[in-house]
Structure 1
Amino acid sequence: MIPHQTKQRMPELEISDKQTGAIRYLEHGCPHWRIRWHYHDEYELHLIVASSGKMFIGDYIGLFQPGCLVLTGPRLPHNWVTNVIDNTHYALRDRVVHFDHDVIVGAVALFPELSMLLPLLDRARYGIEFLHHADAAEKYMMQIKESDGVARVGYFCELLDLLAHSPHQQVLSTTQINLPINSEFQRKIDLVIQFVMGHYEQKIALAQIARLVGMSEGHFSRFFHRATGSSFNEFVNRVRIARACDLLSRTDRPITLIAGEIGFNNIANFNRRFTQHKQMTPSKYRQQARERYSAVSTPPLLLEGVHPN
Structure 2
Amino acid sequence: MKTLIQKIHVEERHSFACRTYKTPDFETAWHKHLECELILITEGNGTALIGDYIGEYKEGDVFFLSPDLPHWFRKSEQKMTGSAIVIHFLKDFMGDIFLSLPEVEPICRSLENKDKGIQLQGALSDEVALLIREIERAEGLDRIQLLLTCMRKISTSAEHKIITTASGTLAGGEENAVIETIIEYSFKHYLDPISLKEVADITKMSIPSFCRFFKRNVKKSYFDFIREIRIGRACKLLRETNRPVLDICYDSGYNSWPNFSKQFKDVTKLSPSRYRKQHITHS
Instruction: Give the equivalent residue in structure 2 for 1:200.
Output: 190
Runs of 4+ in 1 over 6 A off after TM superposition: none
Deviation of 1:62 (Å):
1.5
Conserved? CA contact 2:48–2:72, under 8 Å: yes
AA in 1 matched with 2:209: H
Instruction: Give the equivalent residue in structure 2 for 1:11.
Output: none
Counterpart of 2:141 (choices 137, 150, 153) is: 150
Distance 2:273 2:100 in 1: 54
Conserved? CA contact 2:44–2:58, under 8 Å: yes
Q: Deviation string for 1:49-107 (max 9, x for gaps)?
A: 1122221222221222111111111222212222216x2335xx111111123446715
RMSD: 2.3
AA in 1 matched with 2:169: N
AA in 1 matched with 2:73: W
Counterpart of 1:84 (choices 66, 77, 81) is: 77
Segments of structure 2 that go 5 or more residues without pairing to the other structure are 1-7
> CA 1:116–1:291 in 2, change beyond 3 Å: closer, same or farther?
same
1:283 match: secondary structure: helix
Counterpart of 1:189 (choices 179, 189, 202) is: 179
Query: Normalised by the size of structure 2, how large is the TM-score?
Result: 0.88
Percent identical:
28
AA in 2 matched with 1:211: D
Query: Normalised by the size of structure 1, how large is the TM-score?
Result: 0.81
Within 5 A, what are the aligned runs for 1:204-219? Answer: 204-219=194-209
User: Which moved further from structure 2: 241-250 or 107-116?
Assistant: 107-116
Aligned length: 275
Q: Deviation string for 1:250-303 (max 9, x for gaps)?
A: 11222222111121111111111111111110110011111122xxxxxxxxxx
Within 5 A, what are the aligned runs for 1:92-111? Answer: 93-103=83-93, 106-111=96-101
Instruction: Give the equivalent residue in structure 2 for 1:274.
Output: 264
Could you say which structure has the greater relative contact order, defined with CA pairs below 8 angstroms and 6 or more residues apart? 1
Segments of structure 1 that go 5 or more residues without pairing to the other structure are 1-14, 294-309
Counterpart of 1:57 (choices 47, 50, 61) is: 50
Within 5 A, what are the aligned runs for 1:35-184? Answer: 35-84=28-77, 87-90=79-82, 93-103=83-93, 106-123=96-113, 125-132=115-122, 133-180=124-171, 182-184=172-174
Distance 1:16 1:205 in 2: 41
